[in-house]
A and B are shown apart, each in its own frame.
Chain A
């Protein structure tokens, strides 16, 4: 294994991490502010991917597909909040888990009814299909580089909104004391709906960017959802900074593990044994990482003060 290969896999890890971050940010915001455990967050990721594919086919334009996909997921998210989730804020986590579990079944099946169960593949416009030479001797797909760029830009924008704007101030205030914010005359119900909608749009963004890399199919949201749980458990629930660090760590560890664990094990144990143990260990790696983090810090790396 050479350094260029390691570098490319490292970038792939960052790209996966960025997507995990977009998912984790929404999930952790909703949990930190509304105290809501939303298992259906993965469904919004799936909805984003499907809406984008459908809109791109309908309009014939990739960018219009992206825009409509984002808006659509925002709308679906806000609608879901108003119809099903609003009454759950006062309930305990158990009820929230079960109700959003019901939502997942509903969304997965609804998507299967509309678009069928077979995976959809999306085509990219020509300007996203090429390769970049990032360092001499190494070419990297433009699309994955764009995903990294978009993810980091959204991360920066998110930080700006939460830390520097009036909306962000309300969000932070709502997280630490919702009753007081409501008493000061803020329409907290509307604020919640808006925050949930934004979280949904972030998940939708992750989903529609994932479309061309992975397959678009019913149930695609749950695979990533559980990895996102690992991210926010490692990072500390309710903390955006924790979500970023956790996402990058999980993304890189998972990607490098899948790429290099098998050849690496081959140095120490017999090749057939490495052949068998490598993939098994690689798929368990992030969960082992989580266990280690929790054994040392049960509240995650960056425990949020509230919630």
Chain B
């Protein structure tokens, strides 16, 4: 047991205690807030797989939040409330969209990659806006949340909270295992030196594309969660500022670290919540804060944790 593991375990214990504390304090709002943060932490963890370990600066990750969300919403629109089906399709559809976007964009490098992923997400955004049947610009309500054959009731805020917590831990663990597998080794090698990894016989394209698809699929799950969390699906799920926020969570928390994305999600969304409670013009403060964190705070929050573990 090293110090880092102890700190992280304490963090998880703290999260597990939130519903109890919030209920005792008579502030159920916090269950809702932290649940939302954890949904975004899942999205950020998936982006971390390609951004932090793969070096693919995707500026369009919100696309899969939208695809996952709309998968749930469209099924519910036609009266299909089976969560197993909804969520599997959300994940599969996100993976498919990621495969198409990735097949084109992973071929390109640097700034092209940033702009192309952004542009494709914008395309999906406008597609959602033009779907009049599903609410167009305004989006649509999710009248009935996903049903899991009576196993878990998402209308119960505490049960839903623990489901999101378990999924978050699962996703963080999955990403951790992935990047430490042979597959992840190739992915990280291609990030640190593409020429050398080619020289030892690996073509990075296939590895990057697979990572891109996995990241999209996980983020699709986050989209399905977000749709159930807000009970609403709108094109705003895919707004490009959303992609920027998810990216910021990864960087702020510390990219290429297992706990980083979750830490970043907490820091960003809690600061947002704090500022928004203080003034409606909170973005005028948040913007410069973000700039300063980029300029002066380069290691990310995970860099503040005690060293240990194998991610560096």
Residues in chain A within 8 A of chain B (CB atoms): 31, 37, 84, 87-88, 91, 93-95, 97-99, 101-110, 112-113, 222, 226, 229-230, 232-233, 237, 276, 279-280, 283-284, 287-288, 290-291, 294-295, 298-300
Query: Can you give 14 contacting A-B residue pairs, CB < 8 Å?
Result: A31-B111, A97-B247, A98-B244, A98-B294, A99-B295, A106-B283, A106-B284, A106-B288, A226-B119, A229-B119, A280-B130, A280-B131, A294-B116, A298-B107
* Residues of chain B from 260 to 312 with CB closer than 8 A to chain A in the complex: 281-284, 286-291, 294-295
Q: How near does chain A come to B254, taking the closest CB pair, in angstroms? A: 13
Interface: B108 (CB within 8 A): yes
Interface: B82 (CB within 8 A): no
| Pairwise interchain contact B107-A113, C-beta atoms closer than 8 A | no
Please, which residues of chain B bring their CB within 8 A of the CB of A113?
A: 281, 284
Query: What are the 5 tightest A-B residue pairs by CB atom distance, in nearest-first order?
Result: A106-B287, A102-B290, A105-B287, A287-B123, A109-B284
Measured between alpha carbons, how far is A294 from B114 in the docked complex, in Å?
A: 14
A102's partner among B104, B129, B131, B287 (CB-CB below 8 A) is B287
Please, which residues of chain B bring their CB within 8 A of the CB of A91?
A: 294
| Pairwise interchain contact B130-A279, C-beta atoms closer than 8 A | yes
Q: How near does chain B come to A303, taking the closest CB pair, in angstroms? A: 10
* Interface of B (DSSP majority class): helix
Measured between alpha carbons, how far is A287 from B251 in the docked complex, in Å?
A: 28
Measured between alpha carbons, how far is A105 from B290 in the docked complex, in Å?
A: 9
| Pairwise interchain contact B114-A283, C-beta atoms closer than 8 A | no
| Pairwise interchain contact B131-A295, C-beta atoms closer than 8 A | no
| Pairwise interchain contact A94-B57, C-beta atoms closer than 8 A | yes
Interface: B80 (CB within 8 A): no
| Pairwise interchain contact A237-B289, C-beta atoms closer than 8 A | no
Q: How near does chain B come to A249, taking the closest CB pair, in angstroms? A: 15
Interface: B240 (CB within 8 A): yes
| Pairwise interchain contact B291-A103, C-beta atoms closer than 8 A | yes
Whose C-beta in chain B lies nearest to the C-beta of A84? B291
| Pairwise interchain contact A97-B104, C-beta atoms closer than 8 A | no
Whose C-beta in chain A lies nearest to the C-beta of B120? A287
Measured between alpha carbons, how far is A233 from B127 in the docked complex, in Å?
A: 21
Please, which residues of chain B bring their CB within 8 A of the CB of A97?
A: 57, 59, 114, 244, 247
Q: A97-B57, A109-B284, A109-B287 are in contact. Are A290 and B108 (CB under 8 A)?
A: no
Measured between alpha carbons, how far is A99 from B288 in the docked complex, in Å?
A: 8
Q: A113-B281, A294-B107 are in contact. Are A99 and B119 (CB under 8 A)?
A: no
A87's partner among B120, B130, B295 (CB-CB below 8 A) is B295
Measured between alpha carbons, how far is A109 from B123 in the docked complex, in Å?
A: 25
B283's partner among A109, A279, A283, A287 (CB-CB below 8 A) is A109
| Pairwise interchain contact A283-B112, C-beta atoms closer than 8 A | no
| Pairwise interchain contact A284-B123, C-beta atoms closer than 8 A | yes
Interface: B122 (CB within 8 A): yes
| Pairwise interchain contact A283-B130, C-beta atoms closer than 8 A | yes
Q: A37-B111, A98-B247 are in contact. Are A110 and B122 (CB under 8 A)?
A: no
Q: A294-B108, A298-B108 are in contact. Are A101 and B116 (CB under 8 A)?
A: no
Interface: B210 (CB within 8 A): no
Measured between alpha carbons, how far is A226 from B126 in the docked complex, in Å?
A: 12
| Pairwise interchain contact A280-B127, C-beta atoms closer than 8 A | yes
Whose C-beta in chain A lies nearest to the C-beta of B296? A87
Interface: B155 (CB within 8 A): no
Please, which residues of chain B bring their CB within 8 A of the CB of A294?
A: 104-105, 107-108, 112, 116
Please, which residues of chain A bring their CB within 8 A of the CB of B57?
A: 93-94, 97
Please, which residues of chain B bring their CB within 8 A of the CB of A87?
A: 295
| Pairwise interchain contact B122-A287, C-beta atoms closer than 8 A | yes
Interface: B11 (CB within 8 A): no
Please, which residues of chain A bring their CB within 8 A of the CB of B119?
A: 226, 229-230, 233, 287, 290
Whose C-beta in chain B lies nearest to the C-beta of A222? B240
Whose C-beta in chain A lies nearest to the C-beta of B129? A283
Measured between alpha carbons, how far is A128 from B247 in the docked complex, in Å?
A: 45
| Pairwise interchain contact A229-B294, C-beta atoms closer than 8 A | no
Interface: B53 (CB within 8 A): no
Interface: B248 (CB within 8 A): yes
Scan B189-218; emit 1 where CB is below 8 A from any A CB, else 0: 000000000000000000000000000000
Measured between alpha carbons, how far is A287 from B116 in the docked complex, in Å?
A: 9
Interface: B144 (CB within 8 A): no
Interface: B132 (CB within 8 A): yes
| Pairwise interchain contact B290-A101, C-beta atoms closer than 8 A | yes
A98's partner among B110, B127, B241, B290 (CB-CB below 8 A) is B290
Q: How near does chain B come to A187, taking the closest CB pair, in angstroms? A: 24
Interface: B140 (CB within 8 A): no
Please, which residues of chain B bring their CB within 8 A of the CB of A31?
A: 111
**Candidate in A87, A103, A112, A279 with the most chain B CB atoms within 10 angstroms:** A279
Q: How near does chain B come to A227, taking the closest CB pair, in angstroms? A: 9
Interface: B97 (CB within 8 A): no
Whose C-beta in chain A lies nearest to the C-beta of B282? A109
Interface: B221 (CB within 8 A): no
Please, which residues of chain A bring their CB within 8 A of the CB of B131?
A: 280
Q: How near does chain B come to A221, taking the closest CB pair, in angstroms? A: 12
Whose C-beta in chain B lies nearest to the C-beta of A228? B115
| Pairwise interchain contact A283-B287, C-beta atoms closer than 8 A | no
Measured between alpha carbons, how far is A88 from B290 in the docked complex, in Å?
A: 14
| Pairwise interchain contact B287-A233, C-beta atoms closer than 8 A | no
Measured between alpha carbons, how far is A93 from B244 in the docked complex, in Å?
A: 14
A112's partner among B104, B115, B281, B291 (CB-CB below 8 A) is B281
Please, which residues of chain A bring their CB within 8 A of the CB of B127?
A: 280, 283-284
